Structure 1
């Protein structure tokens, strides 16, 4: 394999596309389970709330795997780590073939989540390392674009396959995409010689930095409201808006289109002004979540509003990722991976809060109000976080 300094611009672009395909696979598996929950609940004879734990199992895998893998593998070449992560990811989805009970599926989803944060961290940093000066935000956003496109194409396709052939087939499809990504990276990705190896102590140094923890808190709290809504979107649109379940793929695709647009917007916000971009996204998340409580009574308005939730939810991710790269010093790999731990902790927290609200007897739109409360809390947290960062930059 050539070194990253020796490849052509065309080869760089192809490598970026290959890494984004891995993001596409991860994005498909992260979100498709939410649309499959009614089928999973029916097959295993469990409640809607118990089925939601499948989402939490994946998120827990991300939360644990991201810091653990990145902290312990800093000395291993980045190309080699990406290949290993894709192998584990593919294996976990093949394991779903043998999920003849609830706990086996829970284990498979947990394992599938382990590579998630580390992959996005290393692929994002690799993209930033390959990018021209002044385009880090857009490079990171391009890797995340794979996840966004997954919500437009991958999730609806896997959802349709799951409905036609059984929910297991959706995970087999993801395994095929993961294997394809592995082969492309194996033959195309250069040695990332500009990405210097780090040790465990260096990576763990990120945990000593208050700005790292504050940025992670912004993501965890601000992002949770989106998942409080997304996790139960099938029930919301069928039981509250009166939509036929066969049309749910349109709702999921609308969310995906919002994700694609939001990711592109987020890359430019990150390159322009990180902290203001984060604040803008949080305010808009608050507004669209409150609006969804009312628009979810109508299938058309609810679908359009769900697109906006996807748009502004995705717009915050590139800014958080680049901000962590800036405030982490030499521990960028761990810090960047922790962003995905934070976002998937938000996934688990949002799903749990949404489930608790529904279990308390409220309607399926009520989690949107709880999610808006989380966005408001994140806005309050942003104020001291941004003020402290300004003082640190001015004093440097």
Structure 2
């Protein structure tokens, strides 16, 4: 039996999270895809965000499928990764937009099949500090994976064209083999009594809650808005970079990868900052996100200013998004924690999926074209919305504090 505490086995557990964010790997190719497929900016952006729609569906279906067909966590993860590999490489061989869009939908189904199981297997196999460490590394693996797949896809784009940027999904087959060989079978687990309800219950013992607070639904909306902004900037940067640097520019993937380093640093430093600032962390995060939007939106043809805005936005996102999940234990009873957590995950995925349409609607409201430098138009609006959210949160918390006195 493989030793679960060995570095190789731990890397095998983490490897499936490495590819779970690879839907974004083709963002640097969007200008070339748009031109080659003769589609609109919004249609090209949906090639990146459509997998999120399928993720939302299959995150819910996955446990049901496991129960109906008696599939173990390890096997459902392997099936999901296999689907990612096969669906991911389809665009290498076709030039039809509808076919590529369907393949991206199937790609998202693969992610959705195993996303939650990648977390639950770690919770089952590891305990205490080792479990917390593994879950932290898992989150970092997602960011590092997105950065690496973006870079690899960008290199393929530069040297052999947009078709081959999809060759990055061959990585899924390497992950599949590594995971299959090194991760022990579920039946060998010695920690079967752990479940999410018990974990949630430990978090809520101090302040038992008897019903779901309406604040949960505000947090779902909050999650939706945060990711709409973040993914929108990722999607529109390559088009703006081409407008500034010229039609043959293919360096967008490098900057999108650097953006993810900022997001990783934000996640790593969240605990330390939250310890110092407490709830004030949300104001710091929203303020920095707003600043990033203003830099990006008002940069015009100043490429350096635009890149600074792009690189900045990931760090505060990872300061704010953990807060959403940290608040949930006090907003719903223990037996409803899986539900409210799923709702917030759906909020994040909805934000990702609808980001192209929200950006397009904002362009129309402002009377700006969804092409050329008009691609930057929505972001100052997003910045203002973030500041308004910060003010509303500040006023609401002050009002609640006064009532409690």
Q: TM-score range by the shorter chain?
A: 0.7 to 0.9
Aligned pair 1:181/2:186, yes or no? Answer: no
* Secondary structure class of the residue paired with 1:364: helix
Q: CA distance change for structure 1 residues 385 and 284 in 2, over 3 Å: closer, same or farther?
A: same
After superposition, residues 1-396 of structure 1 pair within 5 angstroms as: 7=3, 10-11=5-6, 13-27=7-21, 29-70=22-63, 73=66, 77-117=72-112, 119-128=114-123, 130=126, 132-133=128-129, 136=132, 139-174=134-169, 176-190=170-184, 191=186, 192=189, 193-194=191-192, 196=194, 210=214, 212-240=216-244, 245-266=249-270, 277-295=281-299, 297-321=301-325, 323=327, 329-330=334-335, 336-358=341-363, 360-361=367-368, 363-376=374-387, 378-379=389-390
Conserved? CA contact 1:259–1:311, under 8 Å: yes
Between the aligned partners of 2:9 and 2:378, the Cα distance in structure 1 is 40
* Secondary structure class of the residue paired with 2:148: helix
Q: CA RMSD in A?
A: 3.9
Any gaps of 5 or more consecutive residues in structure 1? 200-206
Post-superposition Cα deviations, 1:259-315, rounded to whole Å, max 9, x if no partner, equal: 221232236557888855445423321222123223453222322221111222234
Between the aligned partners of 1:238 and 1:231, the Cα distance in structure 2 is 13
Between the aligned partners of 1:316 and 1:118, the Cα distance in structure 2 is 27
Higher relative contact order (CA 8 A, sep 6+): 1
Any gaps of 5 or more consecutive residues in structure 2? 198-210
Conserved? CA contact 2:149–2:168, under 8 Å: no
Between the aligned partners of 1:66 and 1:278, the Cα distance in structure 2 is 28
Q: Please identify, of 350-359 and 152-161, the stretch whose mean Cα deviation from structure 2 is larger.
A: 350-359
Report how far residue 388 of structure 1 moved.
12
Q: CA distance change for structure 1 residues 223 and 167 in 2, over 3 Å: closer, same or farther?
A: same
Q: CA distance change for structure 1 residues 49 and 147 in 2, over 3 Å: closer, same or farther?
A: same
- Select the structure of larger CA radius of gyration: 2
TM-score, normalised relative to structure 2: 0.77
Between the aligned partners of 1:228 and 1:321, the Cα distance in structure 2 is 23
